[in-house]
């Protein structure tokens, strides 16, 4: 009888060890998964490159600084929301938990913690502009405990109809589509042995398609194809997607801008796990912006760019939840 009890106890002990070992392995696997870098791809044309003024204040060329980031942090409707962009010393915050990689000017790649200055102008050494990546990165950085990487790939004056034309749209594949894929792969390769997961795609583009009459009727399908091809390319079949509206100039009720915005929204609705981000309410008056003649660039208004990115980040967060 004693031998039977001892045998049962030994058997139970082995069973418990097996269960605990399995549980530990599962915990380890879950921990390993959660520690992967969360990678977001940010792509588009000049408004994704970033045209928001940080501190330009020349009377002749930048409207005395009205609407730049420094001014907006004191005088705009979003001043309180943007306080987090500076530390107690009045310096621009650099987020080490949110890294960014952006190739500019040929072979130059900007890398580092998220802050102002990751724009196309940095190719010439200027870090005095910002784009939607700033608001977007702050939202996702606050959302995750894991590190975040933003891979930004953008060029001014490019269309989805031709320059970014995806393979499944037929015709010649756009050179910017090919470059975008190459730049994303290069940034991922730079991670080395670090584990990562592609967590989402943010598309901010449209001005050139709006100005090209035959591009508007094709835009919805080209957008669907773009997302489908990227999901296939990087083997992320349900990659969350946010599409930023071309909201320059605020609300309109007719014309090419109106028709183009409809095409953007219709295309986004045809994509599973995607969200259309309306942005017209982020437009600010030309007279309260650094570049009153640059409507195609939101008049370089920093508040506009910050809010566009912030809204896209919140939209992405809602998909990730």
Q: Are 28 and 141 part of one and the same domain?
A: no
Cα–Cα distance measured from residue 262 to residue 196, given in angstroms and rounded to the nearest whole number: 35
Q: Are 4 and 141 part of one and the same domain?
A: no
Q: Are 241 and 123 part of one and the same domain?
A: yes
Q: Are 68 and 85 part of one and the same domain?
A: yes
Q: Are 118 and 139 part of one and the same domain?
A: yes
191-231, pLDDT tens digit by residue?
999 999 999 999 999 999 999 999 999 999 999 999 999 99
* Tokens 């070992």 belong to residue: 21
61-98, pLDDT tens digit by residue?
999 999 999 999 999 999 999 999 999 999 999 999 99
Pairing relationship of beta strands 108-114 and 274-277 according to DSSP bridges: unpaired
Q: How many domains does the chain divide into? A: 2
Take residue 222 and report the two structure tokens written for it.
């080209």
177-188, pLDDT tens digit by residue?
999 999 999 999
Q: Are 79 and 91 part of one and the same domain?
A: yes
CA angle 255, 153, 301 (to 5 degrees): 55
Q: Are 127 and 181 part of one and the same domain?
A: yes
* Tokens 């930023």 belong to residue: 244
Q: Are 54 and 177 part of one and the same domain?
A: yes
Which has more pLDDT, 24 or 144?
144
* Domain ranges, residue 22: 1-34
Q: Are 24 and 148 part of one and the same domain?
A: no
Which CATH number fits the domain that encloses residue 140?
A: 3.40.50.1110
Calculate what percentage of the chain has a pLDDT beyond 70.
Answer: 89
* Tokens 């912030």 belong to residue: 310
DSSP 291-309: -TT-GGGGGG-HHHHHHHH
Q: Are 14 and 60 part of one and the same domain?
A: no
Is residue 162 pLDDT above 50, yes or no? yes
Is residue 12 pLDDT above 70, yes or no? no
What residues are paired with 103 via a beta bridge?
A: 109
Question: Residue 119: exposed, middle, or buried by beta-carbon count in 10 A (0-12, 13-18, 19+)?
Answer: buried
């Amino acid at each position: 009888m004693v031998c039977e009890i001892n045998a049962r106890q030994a058997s139970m002990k082995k069973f418990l060890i097996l269960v605990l070992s399995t549980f530990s392995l599962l915990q380890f696997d879950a921990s390993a998964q959660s520690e992967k870098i969360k990678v977001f791809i940010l792509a588009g044309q000049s408004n994704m490159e970033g045209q928001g003024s940080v501190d330009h204040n020349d009377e002749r060329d930048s409207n005395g600084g009205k609407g730049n980031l420094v001014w907006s942090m004191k005088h705009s409707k979003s001043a309180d929301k943007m306080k987090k962009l500076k530390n107690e010393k009045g310096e621009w915050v650099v987020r080490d938990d949110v890294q960014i990689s952006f190739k500019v000017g040929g072979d130059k790649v900007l890398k580092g913690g998220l802050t102002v200055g990751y724009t196309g102008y940095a190719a010439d050494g200027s870090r005095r502009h910002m784009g939607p990546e700033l608001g977007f990165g702050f939202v996702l950085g606050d959302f995750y405990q894991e590190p975040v990487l933003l891979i930004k790939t953008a060029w001014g004056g490019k269309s989805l109809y031709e320059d970014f034309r995806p393979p499944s749209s037929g015709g010649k594949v756009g050179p910017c589509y090919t470059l975008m894929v190459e730049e994303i792969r290069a940034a991922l390769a730079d991670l080395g042995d670090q584990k990562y997961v592609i967590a989402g795609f943010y598309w901010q583009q449209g001005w050139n398609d709006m100005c090209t009459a035959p591009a508007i009727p094709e835009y919805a399908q080209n957008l669907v194809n773009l997302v489908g091809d990227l999901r296939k390319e990087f083997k992320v079949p349900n990659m969350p997607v946010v599409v930023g509206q071309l909201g320059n100039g605020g609300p309109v009720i007719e014309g090419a801008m109106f028709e183009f915005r409809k095409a953007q929204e219709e295309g986004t609705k045809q994509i599973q796990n995607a969200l259309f981000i309306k942005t017209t309410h982020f437009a600010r008056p030309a007279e309260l912006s650094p570049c009153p003649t640059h409507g195609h660039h939101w008049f370089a208004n920093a508040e506009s760019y910050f809010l566009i990115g912030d809204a896209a980040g919140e939209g992405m967060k809602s998909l990730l939840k």
